[in-house]
Structure 1
Amino acid sequence: MGEDLRLTRSGGRLGAETPVRAPGPLRGLVIERDQDYREVIGFVVGLAGAGTDRVAAHEEAVPLSKDTSYDIVIVGISQGEELGIDFLAELRRNTGCPIIVLDESFDEARTRYEAGADQILAKPFVPGALIGAIKAALRGPSPNSVVPVATEIKVQGARFDAATRTVHHANVTASLSRREWQLLAFFLANTNRYYEARDVIDQVWDREISTEQFRSYLTRIRRKLEPLRLPFQIVTRPGVGYALNMDLTPVV
């Protein structure tokens, strides 16, 4: 299958089916109502180096996401199809792995990023682009771009646990996704220093995400940390950049 080939919709059927498993050291979950698309997406995931479970309905995906350890989730959305934000958020909570959305409409792209999508690609899609996105997500940041952080950091009454990607403060715990933690770890290692979005992306992910995705990750981190009432926060200064400001007056 050439990388310049574009896939087109061809009237697949919707129906319950047994998840299709393919051998592979890594495991992906493919959620797509159109049978033809579902088979092709599964094939492309295999080319990227992962085996797959393939399901048609969201109702089938939720229990699988709870009971199976996945490395990647691919969600296909057709024109006019509803994709509940709660569904994406639940997939994120259950799997903790990267989620790629294939979407025929980008009307709700920002909302889907904030709900848990790591990447959104156009549908019909170019197989080579999907393979590249999957490999980048499975690979994670390059070794030179990862910010090393101690397994556990305690500062101003808050505890940051890298092993579980959690933040604890005032008897409240927030759990972060892998990329959310990588972003927070960068700011923890560079407190009170301002960086432009592109500089952060280059150092943390080696240019693998867009500035829009960066802002979505930042929004999700802020929302998750808000209930902890931390005495510091990630702040934005227009024209200057972003920083973890440790000099704020403690919240009481």
Structure 2
Amino acid sequence: MVARRQNILVADDDPVVREVVRRYLEHDGMTVTEAADGNVAMAALQNRGAGIDLAVLDVMMPRPDGIQICRTLRSEWRSDIPIILLTALAEEDDRVLGLEAGADDYVTKPFSPRELALRVASVLRRSGGRSAEDTSTLRDGVLEVRLDSQAVYVDHVPLELTAREFDLLAFFLAHTQRVYSREELLEQVWGWSFGDLSTVTVHIKRLRAKLGDRHRIETVWGRGYAWGRTDSPNEVAQNAD
């Protein structure tokens, strides 16, 4: 049986951007659904028949913008569909805002279409590319992470995480008692050899918030993050950024 081609929603009010991105993604064997504004994008995401596998959303498009759609997907619809934001905003605070809304990744305009296509492939691989043979489960007290189904449970209650949040948590549980810098986490979890380190910081913050008092992500000053280290209290600040 021929596998279904992955369907990427590209939502941007600039037809040139949509055309260029569509050609690159189709060259990589993907199907593209285009949307010229937020309302069309929302309709496509609500249409189960469309089978959207990943959404590329422009932050500045009208009715509603990419960040508003991202918030709706994560907070109201409880959707874990991977999201990449396109933004022309250069300030770090604006990029962080998109990540805090629940985006998995972002690309700053002007961007290389090839870079965006590679980011799409990377996020898709991380969100659904685990081996069918990977049936192991990671546990820490009442926290349970099932790698085969990408499900997380706290006291047997399911916890909703995005694909990146899941990968970050699974990485920590598989590599306890070791400090990882933001650069190392960016490479190990995101698969990037370079990038904006605030991406890691925001995802750490989001993961801590969702896990509440069940998280054991500790900040080791000047070095990075670790899960459940036992260093002295003076070195570790559990709730710091």
Match status 1:44 vs 2:29: no
Tell me, yes or no, if the aligned pair for 1:47 and 1:131 is still in contact at 8 Å.
no
| Partner residue of 2:146 out of 148, 154, 161 | 161
Q: 1:133 to 1:159 in 2, by over 3 A?
A: closer
2:52 aligns to what?
A: 70
Tell me, yes or no, if the aligned pair for 1:236 and 1:243 is still in contact at 8 Å.
yes
Higher relative contact order (CA 8 A, sep 6+): 1
Work out the CA distance in 1 between the residues paired with 2:221 and 2:182. Answer: 11
2:117 aligns to what?
A: 131
1:89 aligns to what?
A: 71
1:192-240 Cα offsets, whole Å, 9 max, x none, are 32221222333334335542212222122112112xx32x421112113
| Partner residue of 1:196 out of 166, 176, 181 | 181
Q: What letter matches 2:198 in structure 1?
A: E
2:233 aligns to what?
A: none
% identical equivalent positions: 27
Q: 1:91 to 1:48 in 2, by over 3 A?
A: farther
Work out the CA distance in 1 between the residues paired with 2:163 and 2:59. Answer: 24
Q: CA deviation at 1:79?
A: 8.4
Tell me, yes or no, if the aligned pair for 2:135 and 2:148 is still in contact at 8 Å.
no
Tell me, yes or no, if the aligned pair for 1:104 and 1:124 is still in contact at 8 Å.
yes
Match status 1:56 vs 2:40: no
Of 152-161 and 48-57, the range deviating more from structure 2? 152-161
Query: If the length of structure 2 is used for normalisation, what is the TM-score?
Result: 0.74
1:117-163 Cα offsets, whole Å, 9 max, x none, are 2332232333232233223333449x9xx9x9753334322332334
Q: 1:104 to 1:80 in 2, by over 3 A?
A: farther
Q: CA deviation at 1:81?
A: 8.7
Aligned residues: 218
- Larger of the two Rg values belongs to structure: 1
Q: What letter matches 1:176 in structure 2?
A: L
Gaps of at least 5 residues in structure 2 are: 231-241
Tell me, yes or no, if the aligned pair for 1:98 and 1:118 is still in contact at 8 Å.
yes
Tell me, yes or no, if the aligned pair for 2:80 and 2:163 is still in contact at 8 Å.
yes
SS in 2 for 1:71: strand
Query: If the length of structure 1 is used for normalisation, what is the TM-score?
Result: 0.71
Q: CA deviation at 1:176?
A: 1.4
Root-mean-square deviation over aligned CA pairs:
3.3
Gaps of at least 5 residues in structure 1 are: 1-23, 248-252
Q: 1:103 to 1:166 in 2, by over 3 A?
A: same
Q: What letter matches 2:225 in structure 1?
A: Y
Q: CA deviation at 1:95?
A: 5.2
Of 105-114 and 69-78, the range deviating more from structure 2? 69-78
Q: CA deviation at 1:170?
A: 4.4
Work out the CA distance in 2 between the residues paired with 1:133 and 1:154. Answer: 30
| Partner residue of 2:82 out of 72, 76, 98 | 98
Work out the CA distance in 1 between the residues paired with 2:20 and 2:119. Answer: 16
Larger fraction in helix: 2
